[in-house]
Amino acid sequence: MCGIVGYAGGNDKNIVDDSDRALVVALNGLTRLEYRGYDSAGIALCTRPSNILDDDSASKSYLQVRKKAGRLKNLIDEIETHPLLPAQTSIGHTRWATHGEPTDFNAHPHISNDLRVALIHNGIIENASKLRQALEERGVHFTSVTDTEVVVHLLREELRFVEDDDNLRKKTKYPLTHAMQRVVKQLNGTFTLLAVDASFSDVIVGAKHDSPLVVGLGDGENFFGSDVVAFIEYTSNAIEIQQDQIVTLTSNDVVITDFDGNLSTGKHFTVDWDVSAATKSGYKTFMEKEIREEPKAVADTLLGRFDETTGCIKLDKVPHDVNAFEERLRTINKVIIVACGTAAYAGLVARYAIEHWCRIPVEVELAHEFRYRDPIVNSETLVVSISQSGETMDTLMAQRYASEQGAQTISICNTKGASIVREADGVLYTRAGLEVSVASTKAFVSQITAAYLLGLYLASIRGNKYTDEVLEIVDDLCEVPDKIQELVDQFESISNLAHGLRDIKSVLFLGRNIGYPVALEGALKLKELAYIHAEGFAAGELKHGPIALIDANMPVFVILPSLSRPQLHAKVISNIQEIKARGAQVFTIADAQDIQAHEHATFTIDRPIVPSLLTPLLDIVPLQIFAYALATSKGLDVDKPRNLAKSVTVE
């Protein structure tokens, strides 16, 4: 969940004109990556003064390092106070602490005792304490309590080994590459590493195992990033680094090998969104921008999915032998959805539709619980992972476990080239575009949309749905963006409702049937944005305990079932009456023209009419706006809520 950026610029771009491009690129990258973690930040620049450019004596190059706890602004202020000289290469890191408090010492980059090597890391080294003990016994001095510092000292030792060995030294232009190949074999856990060597100021060496790493290809300059947003303003030409690869990157060369040093290749792709997606486009917050982008996110996710000739939905990635893949999907007897947080609630929504359309059981499992409960998973199971980032370690490990048990896997993901995508048999991308705000909004509605498409794909290849039936549902889905827009247009009125409740201490959210996961997600939004206690309940559960919580100080949001489900609707109206009888305010989301809702509720938000199974795509929007407005009315940072990171890439 840390943000990583690297830059290697040509001599003519840096040293001759003394530009600070290496610094600017690193800081811009960290600014765009700050959503991945922001409790400390740091950079290392590798400098070789212009007056010795043609001098072979490497000893004249040197490292410059600045790192500070707290937000990126603290680092920028530090650099203004203690300016840096122009450099050829730079690496930058913004951190979400796993090992050790967010302090200046624990901030990355970490540096070898002789200031020769600097290193940044995203992930967790699980055998760090054992390695640290051995290093300390060999006299290495540590300045932090992080797992990452162990790696930089190991790297320095291996660099010494490589330089002392004539054969090894002759094998590679940059000893750091060979040293990295030796280090990664000693590490257990997950890592993306970037390292620079003061003796070779033009190179950065990166390594990837389980954590994300992409390369950006520029003109006379090249880039590293934990995702493409790190360098999107400079190039859209990218390479996705694969599992267990090492990259030696200079201004005009990118050499990829496996951990044994055998030449390898990454996967080239073009980034299909522009830098404006990484800015707020005039809105005060990314979150408001992204809520307002929800109609487009759903529309884009639906675009071009239906194959008129086959009458089937098209996935973005299927195995080479698609017939065998689809034949196996016809024989599965269970679907398990694995995800975390909001993505898991999208899975809970999708379960209602997939079971209704495909008539096979669908289980939804929190990814971090899944593989430790000895689940029944085999070749007749389809495991679907849902992940916006595609880097959530819990979900990646759950999907990997499912594959090991022989299950087919399909990933619903918003990030091209992500680790979860690469390991899945099939992929269906959400097309929400970049989601910067930590709170998942447009990704959530896109995940539900994609999961519905997957359900229709399964129903059509398994023969549960005819083409015309699939088309009918796709047509209903295609009307959803405009109906979401009708709710987004109520941004101000819903915000005013929130402002009137800014002093509340706790809120309940109730939903029934497909509205129940919406209640859970509505509660999560309020918790993570406004830091207010909130709980989502199945409405039928109310009288089995939670009703004891109800009083005049406990406002309750109720997601009313569609009028097309009269039996469920009547039960929830009764719940509303029970709540009102105990003095609580009731806010409902209900079908437009739901007279009873208006009759019984304190305030009702009208839901444009859609088929019952599609109501979550609409109902969540007012709850997102409500949580957003309440948090901003309290002066909270909705884009970077305390203690949270956009992608949790550690277990």
Q: Indicate which residues carry an active-site annotation.
A: 2, 646
Cα 408 to Cα 461: distance, rounded to the nearest angstrom: 15
Burial grade of 310 (CB within 10 A; 0-12, 13-18, 19 or more) = exposed
Supply the DSSP string of 546-592, one letter for each residue.
Answer: GGGG-STT--EEEEPPPTTSHHHHHHHHHHHHHHHTTT--EEEEEET
From 520, 502, 503, select the one nearest 511 (Cα to Cα).
Answer: 520
Cα 534 to Cα 255: distance, rounded to the nearest angstrom: 51
Query: Which of residues 199 and 399 has its CB atom nearest to ligand AGP in the complex?
Result: 399
Alpha helices in 464-510 (DSSP H): 467-478, 480-488, 491-500
Residue 367 beta carbon to ligand AGP: minimum distance, rounded to whole angstroms? 8
Query: Which of residues 4 and 65 has its CB atom nearest to ligand AGP in the complex?
Result: 4
Cα 145 to Cα 167: distance, rounded to the nearest angstrom: 36
Cα 146 to Cα 75: distance, rounded to the nearest angstrom: 19
Residue 93 beta carbon to ligand AGP: minimum distance, rounded to whole angstroms? 20
Residue 526 beta carbon to ligand AGP: minimum distance, rounded to whole angstroms? 11
Query: Which of residues 151 and 298 has its CB atom nearest to ligand AGP in the complex?
Result: 298
- Cβ of 77: how many Cβ atoms within 10 Å? 13
Query: Which of residues 387 and 460 has its CB atom nearest to ligand AGP in the complex?
Result: 387
Cα 164 to Cα 175: distance, rounded to the nearest angstrom: 10
Query: Which of residues 183 and 424 has its CB atom nearest to ligand AGP in the complex?
Result: 424
Residue 279 beta carbon to ligand AGP: minimum distance, rounded to whole angstroms? 20
Query: Which of residues 306 and 557 has its CB atom nearest to ligand AGP in the complex?
Result: 557
Residue 462 beta carbon to ligand AGP: minimum distance, rounded to whole angstroms? 27
CA angle, corner 318, sides to 316 and 322, nearest 5?
135
Cα 199 to Cα 57: distance, rounded to the nearest angstrom: 9
Residue 646 beta carbon to ligand AGP: minimum distance, rounded to whole angstroms? 6
Cα 506 to Cα 509: distance, rounded to the nearest angstrom: 10
The residues of the shown chain that bind ligand AGP, judged by CB under 6 A, are 340-343, 387-389, 392, 395, 438-440, 528, 647-648
Query: Which of residues 387 and 562 has its CB atom nearest to ligand AGP in the complex?
Result: 387
Cα 345 to Cα 342: distance, rounded to the nearest angstrom: 5
Beta carbons within 8 Å of 362's beta carbon, 6+ residues apart? 334, 335, 336, 337, 350, 351, 354, 355
Query: Which of residues 40 and 647 has its CB atom nearest to ligand AGP in the complex?
Result: 647
From 481, 532, 484, select the one nearest 509 (Cα to Cα).
Answer: 532
Cα 86 to Cα 47: distance, rounded to the nearest angstrom: 7
For the CA atoms of the chain, what is the radius of gyration? Answer: 26
- Rounded to 10 degrees, the C-alpha dihedral 572/575/577/582 comes to -160
Query: Which of residues 64 and 387 has its CB atom nearest to ligand AGP in the complex?
Result: 387
Residue 614 beta carbon to ligand AGP: minimum distance, rounded to whole angstroms? 21
To which H or E segment does residue 625 belong?
helix 615-633
As beta bridge partners, residue 193 has 121, 207
Query: Which of residues 395 and 612 has its CB atom nearest to ligand AGP in the complex?
Result: 395
Sheet bearing 62-69, strands edge to edge? 62-69, 40-47, 89-95, 3-9, 221-225, 214-217, 237-240, 267-270
Alpha helices in 340-436 (DSSP H): 341-358, 367-370, 393-404, 419-423
Residue 53 beta carbon to ligand AGP: minimum distance, rounded to whole angstroms? 44
Residue 385 beta carbon to ligand AGP: minimum distance, rounded to whole angstroms? 8
- For ligand AGP, the nearest residue by Cβ is 341
E strand segments, 235-370: 237-240, 245-249, 254-258, 267-270, 306-307, 312-313, 334-339, 362-366
Residue 438 beta carbon to ligand AGP: minimum distance, rounded to whole angstroms? 5
From 382, 393, 404, 405, select the one nearest 336 (Cα to Cα).
Answer: 382
